[in-house]
Amino acid sequence: MITIKVFENYDELSAQAAEMFKEVLNTTENPVLGLATGSSPEGLYKALVEMHKNKELDFSNVSTVNLDEYVGLSGDHDQSYRYFMNTHLFDHVNIDKAKTFVPNGLAQDLEQEGKDYDQRIKDLGGVDLQVLGIGSNGHIGFNEPAEKLVLGTHVEDLTESTIEANSRFFETRDDVPKRAISMGLGTILDAKKIILVASGKSKAEAIASLVDEYITTQVPATLLKLHPDVTVLVDKEAASLL
């Protein structure tokens, strides 16, 4: 079931997302957090770092698993998702980096890497709280619109619209990797609780597709309707077509 909450602005929705993280961290013995990259969760991570500084949050027992990673980028490339996580969160809190997992985009055997990644999540006991962003075409992680979607962690070819959207982070459009390794919809839906954060007009259409009675693999985020506990936190612009 999806609950949508609309906030005045991005800072307010980020603060609410951080409160929901705090609740899970404070009530779970060895919390496993599912994390996302992109601009949308940046405010959440900032708020978590702030809470940690104020001694409200302890990350010493926390493990994390990230949704996705570009194929071909090493963890020290400044556009890799490992680098993003280190610089936006892990470097600023008391987390043991050995317990932070991001798919390895440099793995020789990417198919095996996907299988191992799903097994790792199982071994950790599953994800307690997963945060998601959403692409303007409705992709989550890097699960792009398609006739069929893959359940487990796997390699995806990025769509032109995603390459275009993500080119803002790279010097040229040609520098954007064309493939990524991403948790599948099955992996994502296995999380006990999910939060999706979105802001801005470009997300309004994708957000509107979360409230009608349809699910379609052409808008991967609509499959979240099958999950029992999803909270969507949006600002007014992202909510403008609701």
Among all residues, which ones are annotated catalytic? 68, 137, 139, 144
Q: Please report how close the Cβ of residue 25 comes to ligand GLP at its closest, in angstroms.
A: 22
Q: Please say which residue, 32 or 197, places its beta carbon nearer to ligand GLP.
A: 197
Closer by beta carbon to ligand GLP, 28 or else 149: 149
Using the rule CB under 6 A, is 133 a contact of ligand GLP?
yes
Nearer Cβ to ligand GLP, position 29 or 198? 198
User: ∠80-15-126 over CA atoms, to 5°?
Assistant: 55
Quick one: 147 exposed, middle or buried, by C-beta within 10 A (0-12, 13-18, 19+)?
A: exposed
**Tokens, residue 10:** 């991005």
Of 67, 131, 233, 238, the one binding ligand GLP by CB under 6 A: 67
Q: Is 36 in the site for ligand GLP (CB under 6 A)?
A: yes
Please name every residue paired with 131 in a beta bridge, in sequence order, or none if there are none.
195
How far is Cα 85 from Cα 80, in angstroms, rounded to an integer? 9
By the rule CB under 6 A, 68 interacts with ligand GLP: yes
Number of residues that bind ligand GLP (CB under 6 A): 14
DSSP assignment, residue 175?
G
Q: Note whether 38 binds ligand GLP by CB under 6 A.
A: yes
Binding part of the chain for ligand GLP, among 34-42, 45-53, 94-102, 106-114 by CB under 6 A, reads 34-42
Which residue is closest to ligand GLP by CB?
A: 133
Q: Work out the end-to-end distance of the chain between its first and last CA atoms, rounded to an integer number of angstroms.
A: 17
Say whether residue 143 binds ligand GLP (CB under 6 A). Answer: no
Give the CA distances from residue 90 to residues 15, 36, 48, 84, in Å, rounded to whole numbers and listed in that order: 18, 13, 10, 9
Q: Tell how far CA 69 is from the center of its chain.
A: 11
Interface residues with ligand GLP (CB under 6 A)? 36-40, 67-68, 133-135, 141-142, 162, 166
